[in-house]
Structure 1
């Protein structure tokens, strides 16, 4: 009977609401568990009814989407720990004790200790350890000598009085795999020449570490013999391979850090060993261990430089070859359709994101001073940006700040879609698929091309927007009624809509060529996107996009000033410009060099937040995927569109959001037991003891 049974008035969890409240308070007092946590446990318990051995128990404790090769059914091993009364039923009291144990920081070893401590004495003797161990391995397993000197060091001689407490037991379990490895090698090395056959090596590894390796690595285990002459495997190589498995998390960290620092995103064995030595006080890995890592990652060619994704088959136990990810390759017609759908979806994303950014900063755009000239007959319309804003508010009201927004929103969808999509397409083509790296030259080409393509939509949009903006205040000053967008379009004609296009190109190409590479490097180099699987937060995306817009906006201000002057219809007394060169010359001659940067700070204030909100929205839309937008539903599950189906990237414990800690610890406890033998819990061991 568990100690908690003395607290609860019931024994099978059938209490009414009043007694449940009392029980919760009692447990909170006894073990210090928050009330919200207890209520969550109760929901899990009630969802699985009275937890019995089998699927209900597994559903209650197993992590969802576990990234190991441990099957969910194997979590039933831990049922014997939870069912302290041996009734084949886990009561509410038992479940509460079990979950409380999982809150311990050393829950993994504590659960393993409870599994071996059959009589609940708090100690494990020789016979108890041998009985539990033997009951969980099959007759075909490599035998283990319980009378060896190693066991005697921990448990004394057979039938002796030495017993293990909890802390001693943890040390025994930590070193047990090494002893099993030594005994297994000695048992299979019949002629004691220091070598075993490749298939024998595979048998050893499958028994003690099969749940830690991907199918690809398991299939290639016999190829370890190729690292040395003779086509056989030495004890040194077996130990080295075991050390690689044991330090897999550290290996992953070193590989991620080392590949992130190299120019090409690849490393060789020397790079790996150098980074391992520089990141630790002592050398963690031997040259033989490094050779084994690169042998299995490089599919037998350990001398080549490898990217992070090449190590996936070694680091990710669930890794599968890319051609195994899907049942069949898509047909050519399907690929064309996928490309079309992807482009269409990108247009939708770009349109929505651009609309968000444009709407937020449009009032700032109205206050731009770029069209303010010093040669106007009479008085200046605006003294500065603040004076401009005050006059717009006084003469036109708050809605005056949004004059011309309609055409802006109508045109912003194709403009942003083509800009963002073209940049993504070119970057995607130029990016190394293995390293995720792209050369700076291609970044500039991608951004510049995207900026050039958008002019097809940008120029007509901006010439109408600018004329709508400037005529509002001029109409008040000169006493005429403002014209609408349709009138302006008819007045200009098709060719007129592209007046100032050369200046628009001169502005948008360098703007995007500066902006997109800066944005990409801020995300990667400053905020470390992708490092150990990091995904940038809302604020980090906003800062990256906003900061990148500052130099891009200011350095392209002269082209924007010229474009604005060319596109605005000159009134009486104002200078007429014949073209791009003439506009540059006239502005410089009449107003000086500073006039070319007129409105530069305002452009930063406008462009920086506009692109910040646009790119942040675009990134968030891409993270969400198409399902939330399209709402396609099929048999109760959202349908993924064909372009969204991609080979699974390397997922490990370092790259994903962790499960509830209690479930992580349950998984780790199971791993400790499986490290004893891969068949642990599969042979009815709990019944045997």
Structure 2
């Protein structure tokens, strides 16, 4: 069993299931993170994550915490599937000589996974952020968008996104600047932490070890790349509040944040992001390593008989 080669379809299904479960659990915290990061130039609508969630519920109702969830739940399946499966793919090919992967090769595999993920992540993140940030700026375009998102409001968001196509290039660079370093930190750290729970190299670690390893590696990588996440969130927010800055690119965004808000602004939402990423990747790794997809695929031939 330990030596059984996991098929690509199984990896994709496991990644998709993990993403759906994880996002459903942590989406309200992710919404708070986006709104906290988008506060700028002294505007303090929210003082903390809990304050943001309480005010969101009061003004927008319980489902206001799930603005943009329809977008994320739709696209998180391919995003997580690509990220986890790509990392396994690169690790497998980098270890073809039969030797143990060096830290450098583990980082290269993570880099490849992060690069592949950006293809799906950028449009998903842009659309999700517009919907998440709608309540903060009371945008006329999105203010009526409740979760699950209505067909008209979702279409309106897509039109707005396409109209701002020029922003896709700088935000793609920002997404790559976040996702690639995140994967470079996360995957090697997770692999080495997970090994601590393996009695022998060919036996899987217990599920709770995979969960804890995913939580620790995810939160560590999330905080490490939070400055890139702040820049990405600002660039991908198409709608601006009163007196809020616009940015022409990554460097311009970083310069304005540093000059007007100080270096601590790059840590905005860091603890929210850690709280989002930790259980998200902990759950993802448990689902992935338990092998739910393998069980489902093994059952399919029996049903046909």
Please give the TM-score of this superposition, normalised by the length of structure 1. 0.40
Q: Secondary structure at the match of 2:30?
A: helix
Quote how far apart the aligned CAs of 1:467 are.
0.7
Alpha-carbon distance in structure 1 between the residues aligned to 2:180 and 2:117: 9
| Matched-pair contact (CA < 8 Å) for 2:29–2:49 | no
1:504 aligns with 2:175: yes
1:350 aligns with 2:18: no
> Partner of 2:46 in structure 1?
382
Q: Of residues 618, 622, 631 in structure 1, which corresponds to 2:299?
A: 631
| Matched-pair contact (CA < 8 Å) for 1:352–1:413 | yes
Q: Of residues 64, 73, 95 in structure 2, which corresponds to 1:409?
A: 73
Alpha-carbon distance in structure 2 between the residues aligned to 1:486 and 1:600: 31
| Matched-pair contact (CA < 8 Å) for 1:382–1:388 | yes
Moved over 6 A (4+): 476-479
Quote how far apart the aligned CAs of 1:391 are.
0.4
> Partner of 1:555 in structure 2?
224
Q: Of residues 421, 433, 454 in structure 1, which corresponds to 2:85?
A: 421
Unpaired runs of 5+ in structure 2?
146-151
| Matched-pair contact (CA < 8 Å) for 1:405–1:465 | yes
Alpha-carbon distance in structure 1 between the residues aligned to 2:97 and 2:123: 38
Q: Secondary structure at the match of 2:122?
A: helix
> Partner of 1:588 in structure 2?
258
Deviations 1:106-132 (Å, cap 9, x if unpaired)? xxxxxxxxxxxxxxxxxxxxxxxxxxx
| Matched-pair contact (CA < 8 Å) for 2:144–2:153 | no
Which of the pair is proportionally richer in helix?
2
- For residues 585 and 544 of structure 1, do their structure 2 counterparts lie closer, same or farther at Cα, with a shift above 3 Å needed? same
Alpha-carbon distance in structure 1 between the residues aligned to 2:252 and 2:25: 34
| Matched-pair contact (CA < 8 Å) for 1:375–1:573 | no
1:441 aligns with 2:104: yes
> Partner of 2:208 in structure 1?
539
> Partner of 2:24 in structure 1?
359
Kindly name which structure, 1 or 2, has the bigger radius of gyration based on alpha carbons. Answer: 1
Please give the TM-score of this superposition, normalised by the length of structure 2. 0.87
- For residues 433 and 619 of structure 1, do their structure 2 counterparts lie closer, same or farther at Cα, with a shift above 3 Å needed? farther
> Partner of 1:484 in structure 2?
153
> Partner of 1:464 in structure 2?
127
> Partner of 2:244 in structure 1?
574
> Partner of 1:606 in structure 2?
276
> Partner of 1:617 in structure 2?
287
1:371 aligns with 2:41: no
| Matched-pair contact (CA < 8 Å) for 1:489–1:497 | no
Q: Secondary structure at the match of 1:553?
A: helix
Deviations 1:74-122 (Å, cap 9, x if unpaired)? xxxxxxxxxxxxxxxxxxxxxxxxxxxxxxxxxxxxxxxxxxxxxxxxx
Q: Of residues 33, 57, 68 in structure 2, which corresponds to 1:393?
A: 57
Alpha-carbon distance in structure 2 between the residues aligned to 1:502 and 1:383: 30
Q: How do residues 102-121 of structure 1 correspond to structure 2 at under 5 angstroms?
A: none
Relative contact order, CA 8 A, sep 6+: which one is greater?
Answer: 2
Q: Secondary structure at the match of 1:626?
A: helix
Deviations 1:368-422 (Å, cap 9, x if unpaired)? 111111345xxx3212222111101111222111111111011111111111111
> Partner of 2:149 in structure 1?
none
| Matched-pair contact (CA < 8 Å) for 1:395–1:476 | no
